[in-house]
C-alpha cells in the first residue's frame, strides 16, 4: 500500500515551487530568455500539480490556497529583498506580519478537533 503524503508537506513543496517560479521571472526578462522561461513555466506548473495532490490528500481548498498565496507572497517579498535589494517599507513589514498571523489563524485547530 503506497504511503500517503501529509497534505502540509505537499503544500510546502508547492509553495517552494511557486516562489522559485516567481523569483525566476526576473531572469526570464519578460519571457525573452527561453531557458529561464522554461524554469518559470515548469515551476508554476509543477506547483499547481503538487497543490492539487495536497488537496487530494485532504487539504481544504480555502485554507490551502490562502496559505499558498500568503506564504508565497511573503517568501517572494523577503527573497526579493535579500537577493535583489527589493523595496520593503515599514508598512510592508507590518503587512507581512499580518499575513503571517492570518495564515497561522487559518491553520489553527483547537486540540481534539481534526487530525
Give the pLDDT score at 3.
Answer: 47
pTM of the model: 0.85
Q: Which three cell numbers stand for residue 83?
A: 537577493
Give the tens place of pLDDT for each residue, 42-52. Answer: 999 999 999 99
pLDDT bucket at 1, cuts 50 / 70 / 90:
very low
pLDDT at 104: 85
**Closest C-alpha to 60, from 16, 20, 106, 95:** 106
Per-residue model confidence (pLDDT) at position 5:
63
Sequence-distant (≥ 6) Cβ neighbours of residue 29 within 8 angstroms: 36
Residue ranges of domains in the chain: 7-107
Q: What percent of the chain has pLDDT over 90?
A: 79
Longest dimension (CA), the chain: 53
Amino acid at each position: 500500500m503506497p504511503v500517503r503524503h501529509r497534505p502540509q508537506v505537499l503544500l510546502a513543496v508547492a509553495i517552494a515551487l511557486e516562489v522559485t517560479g516567481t523569483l525566476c521571472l526576473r531572469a526570464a526578462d519578460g519571457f525573452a530568455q527561453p531557458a529561464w522561461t522554461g524554469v518559470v513555466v515548469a515551476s508554476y506548473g509543477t506547483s499547481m500539480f503538487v497543490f492539487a495532490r495536497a488537496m487530494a490528500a485532504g487539504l481544504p481548498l480555502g485554507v490551502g490556497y490562502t496559505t499558498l498565496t500568503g506564504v508565497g507572497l511573503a517568501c517572494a517579498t523577503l527573497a526579493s529583498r535579500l537577493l535583489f535589494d527589493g523595496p520593503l517599507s515599514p508598512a510592508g513589514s507590518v503587512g507581512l506580519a499580518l499575513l503571517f498571523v492570518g495564515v497561522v489563524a487559518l491553520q489553527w485547530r483547537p486540540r481534539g478537533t481534526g487530525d
